[in-house]
Amino acid sequence: MNGAGMDQAANADKEGEEMIIIRGAGDIATGTIHRLFCAGFPVLVLETDHPSAIRRKVAFSEAVYDGTATVEGVTAVRISSADQAEETLLKGKVPLLVDPKGESIRTMKPEALVDAILAKKNLGTTMDMAELTIALGPGFEAGKDVHYVIETMRGHDLGRIISEGFALPNTGIPGVIGGYGAERVIHSPAAGVFRGMRDIADEVEAGEKIGNVMIEDGEVPVCTQIAGILRGIIRDGYPVSKGFKLADVDPRLEERKNCFTISDKARCIAGSVLEVVCAATAHRYAE
């Protein structure tokens, strides 16, 4: 058992120890889950039954499909009920429960709740769900919907802790990497079922076909716009709507290793969440 796992075993065994519940386990959420877990906080992750992460190599949401998912030495394990959370933590692993509506939040009564779904709108998180509530990105008003909002927009304010008001609204424009923005992201040309031909970390050329969207009377090719490394691609067999995000290309060939590690953006956001949680914990102990 690694150091983080030993800390979790100790924490989970403390009588009355409260959980931190995180809603969502995509790549950005995974950064927060990983940081809190490694800092010694007992966490329970809630996910939908059909997550659509693109950066699947660094998303704990893959445990929904595969039973487990390991990111930078930390393993998430899918559990069938919230009652198994403590047992999983005692084994030094992150418990993940399929609970898209967050029904277990009321019964678990967590010390803190982090909404990391990144749906760009509030899907049902309220301030009264925990003593401390935090939301990532737009769609929430700090001081009303949740206690704090963390800025997720790349730029000077990334990771800013907001105690009143909103995060910046979603622009729909991907961040620029290696001189490319919107060209990096590949969207579905039609509604259907995606069938992939390439995998994450593969090198691709501009205009290369990486898969097809299967439609009722045939298939529609899915092609890249730029050359680079396939940083993310949705699971094979995933049903998609027209315009659905399917893949992401990083033009920097030397950055292949980044496909398997938590991003700088996710780490920055995670640090802010940890700061808020630690400040609340210190305040509680000081009382």
- The pLDDT tens digits of the residues spanning 195-229 come to 999 999 999 999 999 999 999 999 999 999 999 99
Tell me what the mean pLDDT of segment 141-159 comes to.
97
Whole-prediction pTM? 0.92
Answer yes or no: is 84 within a domain: yes
Are 109 and 245 found together in one domain?
no
Higher-pLDDT residue of 151, 172: 151
Question: Residue 221 phi/psi, 5° resolution?
Answer: -70, 145
Predicted local distance difference test score (pLDDT) of residue 109: 93
Whether residue 136 sits in one domain with residue 52: yes
What percent of the residues of the chain are helix, what percent strand, and what percent coil, each to the nearest 5? 30, 30, 40
128 Cβ contact list (under 8 Å, min separation 6): none
Position 175 confidence tier, pLDDT thresholds 50, 70, 90: confident
Query: What span, in angstroms and rounded, lies between the C-alpha atoms of 61 and 194?
Result: 19
Listed residue (283, 225, 277, 231) closest to 257, CA to CA: 231
191 and 156 co-located in one domain: no
Q: Is the pLDDT of residue 16 over 80?
A: no
Instruction: Please state the rounded mean pLDDT for residues 114-132.
Output: 96
Check whether 13 has a pLDDT greater than 60.
no
Question: Could you tell me if 84 and 214 lie in one domain?
Answer: no
Q: What is the mean pLDDT of residues 46-58?
A: 97
246 lies in which domain range? 182-251
Domain assignment present for 10: yes
